C-alpha cells in the first residue's frame, strides 16, 4: 500500500488514498502497527481520504496511534487538504474544500506555500456537548474545580467536535504531562475521555500551550486544542479573539470571529516523504 507522510507542526500523520472505497482500507489494529515509531512508519495517526457520500468534496476518517477514532483533528485536516491537492495534481490557491468528518463538515482553504486556513465551525460550550459532568447539562464549564491525583485544578471545557479540558497555569514548563496527562484523559467526569491543554498567558495576543491528546498522548501540536485554547482564553478574559498560540512544534494563528461565531485556524501542513508498506 502506498502512503504519504505529512506533519502539522510536528503532529504527524500517515495519509492514505482511500478514494476507491467508502470504508477505510486498514483496520484500527493496522493503524496501531503503522504508527509505532520503532516497528512501523511512526505517526500520531492514520488519515484516510475517502469519497464523499453527499454533495461535499471528500470524507476524512482518522485512527489514532492507539487505534481509537477521534471525531476530528485540526492539524490532520490541514494535512488532509494538502494531500488532496497532491491527489488532484495541482495546488489550487484559494480553493475551499467541503470535508465530511465525524464532527460535521469542515472547510479548509489552500493558502499557498504550505499554509492552510480552516473554518473550524462554532465551538460548543455546554456540558452535555463536551460531554462532561463538571456542570449541569445546559451550563457552560468555565473555571470549574477539578481534582486530579489529589491536586486541585481550575478548568474550562470546550468541544471543537471533540472534547477539550483547558487549564491555565503560571508556567507550562512546570507541568509533567507524562505523569498526569492520562489521568485527565480518563477522568470519570469525561465519559468520552478528553484532550487536555495546559496554557500559559504571555500577553493578550500570545498564548503558549502544550497538550495531551486523547488516544495519542503527548504530541507536538493539536489544532483543535489551539482553537479551544483561544475560546477558553476569551471566556476567562485572558486573551483577545485573534491570538497566536505557540505549541511545542510551532505556532498557529487562531481567530474566534465575533461576526459568525466560527473559529478560523491558519497554519502549515508539510509533506515529509512517500513510500509503500506491506500490510
- Tell me how many degrees the CA angle 134-135-138 measures, rounded to the nearest 5: 140
CA count, 13 A, side-chain hemisphere, 126: 6
Asked about 186 being catalytic, the answer comes back as no
Q: Name residues whose C-beta falls within 8 Å of residue 172's C-beta, 6 or more positions apart in sequence.
A: 198, 199, 200, 208, 209, 210
The active-site residue, picked from 73, 165, 189, 251, is 73
Report which of 237, 213, 263 is spatially closest to residue 107, judged by C-alpha positions: 263
Report which of 155, 152, 157 is spatially closest to residue 130, judged by C-alpha positions: 157
Three cell numbers, residue 164: 477539550
The active-site residue, picked from 35, 157, 189, 222, is 222
Asked about 189 being catalytic, the answer comes back as no
Q: Are 235 and 164 within 8 A, CB to CB? A: no
- Beta partners for 155? 144, 167
Cα 22 from Cα 40, distance rounded (Å) = 25
Tell me which residues are annotated as active site.
73, 222
Amino acid at each position: 500500500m502506498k502512503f504519504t507522510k505529512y506533519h502539522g507542526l510536528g503532529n504527524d500523520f500517515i495519509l492514505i488514498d482511500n478514494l476507491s472505497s467508502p470504508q477505510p482500507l486498514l483496520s484500527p489494529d493496522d493503524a496501531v502497527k503503522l504508527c509505532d515509531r520503532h516497528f512501523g512508519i511512526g505517526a500520531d495517526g492514520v488519515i484516510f481520504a475517502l469519497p464523499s457520500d453527499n454533495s461535499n468534496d471528500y470524507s476524512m476518517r482518522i485512527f489514532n496511534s492507539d487505534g481509537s477514532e477521534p471525531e476530528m483533528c485540526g492539524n490532520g485536516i490541514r494535512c488532509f487538504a494538502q494531500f488532496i491537492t497532491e491527489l488532484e495534481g495541482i495546488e489550487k490557491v484559494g480553493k475551499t474544500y467541503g470535508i465530511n468528518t465525524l464532527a460535521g463538515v469542515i472547510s479548509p482553504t489552500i493558502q499557498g506555500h504550505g499554509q492552510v486556513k480552516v473554518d473550524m465551525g462554532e465551538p460548543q460550550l455546554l456540558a452535555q456537548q463536551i460531554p462532561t459532568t463538571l456542570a449541569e447539562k445546559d451550563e457552560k464549564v468555565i473555571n470549574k474545580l477539578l481534582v486530579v491525583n489529589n491536586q486541585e485544578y481550575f478548568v474550562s471545557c470546550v468541544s471543537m467536535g471533540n472534547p477539550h479540558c483547558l487549564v491555565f497555569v503560571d508556567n507550562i514548563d512546570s507541568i509533567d504531562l507524562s505523569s498526569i496527562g492520562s489521568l485527565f484523559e480518563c477522568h470519570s467526569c469525561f465519559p468520552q475521555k478528553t484532550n487536555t491543554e495546559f496554557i500559559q498567558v504571555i500577553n493578550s495576543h500570545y498564548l503558549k500551550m502544550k497538550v495531551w491528546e486523547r488516544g495519542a498522548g503527548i504530541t507536538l501540536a493539536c489544532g483543535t486544542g489551539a482553537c479551544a485554547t483561544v475560546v477558553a482564553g476569551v471566556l476567562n478574559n485572558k486573551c483577545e479573539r485573534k491570538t497566536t498560540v505557540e505549541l511545542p512544534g510551532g505556532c498557529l494563528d487562531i481567530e474566534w470571529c465575533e461576526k459568525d461565531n466560527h473559529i478560523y485556524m491558519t497554519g502549515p501542513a508539510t509533506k515529509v516523504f512517500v513510500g509503500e508498506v506491506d500490510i
